[in-house]
Amino acid sequence: MYLGDVAWPDLEDYFETESLALIPLGSTEQHGPHLPEATDHLIAEAFAREVAERTGYLCTPTITVGVSGHHRQFHGTMWVEPSVFREYVASLTRNLTYHGIDRVVYVNAHGGNVPHLREVGARLRQEEVAYGIEWMWDESIPDLVDDLFEQNGPHGGPKETAMIQYLDSALVHEDRLADARDGGMTSVDDAEMMRHGSRTFYDAADNTDNGVLGDQTDATAEKGEQLFDAATEQLVHLADWLADQAFEDLLPRDHV
């Protein structure tokens, strides 16, 4: 059930009987010359809405701008400061608790959001307000991602390309896939992102001229459908597990 489509009187039964909500989050940032800037939030919303449709859990409107300052050198990238993002997500989650929600899944599709969502979830749990956990679609199916692509790439690579080819193929510039590969960084290992145990870069532009990594020509809509179906199943299982937990069991343990 998508909250934005429902009249308020028709939400009463849900809030009386259910305590879980799905919050999709992504970014509006460069994804190379071949993908739309909406890539991450389109993916996150697709997962959250599909799982809400299958399970009946509540899906909230999507947070479309995230922590993306590391992509700022590329035209059109939007971002908010990490502290602003954390406070916004925490406030939104507290808003849901007013209606009776006490657990949420942050359905996330942007790596830059991950540590901040984890921090928000930990803070709300410590305050015993809500139990929020971050879910990243590709991390739920790592073996399948590795099996499908020779050179994956963490940003704008074949996994995200395949997902958008499946979700909305009209948004993919198919004639630019080879240019995306050749003008970016095909191999993550070649990018030398780690030196002597240290992550020595801060911006995407430090590693890739066109903003992407991986071999985008390895992507197809059929692979995107495989990824979507497999990760959706994982999110259904996670939501069901979380909904079944007693809230008291999700809170911090007493001091030893």
Reported as a pLDDT band with limits 50, 70 and 90, residue 107 is very high
Say what the pLDDT of residue 194 is: 79
Q: Which of 221, 136, 226, 207 is nearest to 177 (CA)?
A: 221
Tell me which residue has tokens 């939501």.
239
Distance separating alpha carbons of residues 178 and 194, to the nearest angstrom: 26
Which helix (H) or strand (E) element contains residue 165?
Answer: helix 158-167
The per-residue pLDDT for range 71-88, each reduced to its tens digit, is 999 999 999 999 999 999
Q: Which CATH class is domain 3-250?
A: alpha beta
* pLDDT above 80 (res 190): no
**Mean pLDDT throughout 121-138?**
97
* Token digits of residue 100: 């009776």
Say what the pLDDT of residue 214 is: 92
* Token digits of residue 230: 């497999």
* pLDDT above 80 (res 118): yes
Percent of the chain with pLDDT over 90: 87
* pLDDT above 80 (res 176): yes
Range from 154-163, 181-190, 197-206 that averages highest in pLDDT: 154-163
Reported as a pLDDT band with limits 50, 70 and 90, residue 253 is very high
DSSP letter assigned to residue 78: B
* pLDDT above 90 (res 206): no
Distance separating alpha carbons of residues 36 and 178, to the nearest angstrom: 16
Q: Which of 198, 206, 117 is nearest to 155 (CA)?
A: 206
The per-residue pLDDT for range 223-236, each reduced to its tens digit, is 999 999 999 999 99
pTM for the model = 0.95
| Beta-strand pair 103-108/58-59 | unpaired
Tell me which residue has tokens 């739920």.
140
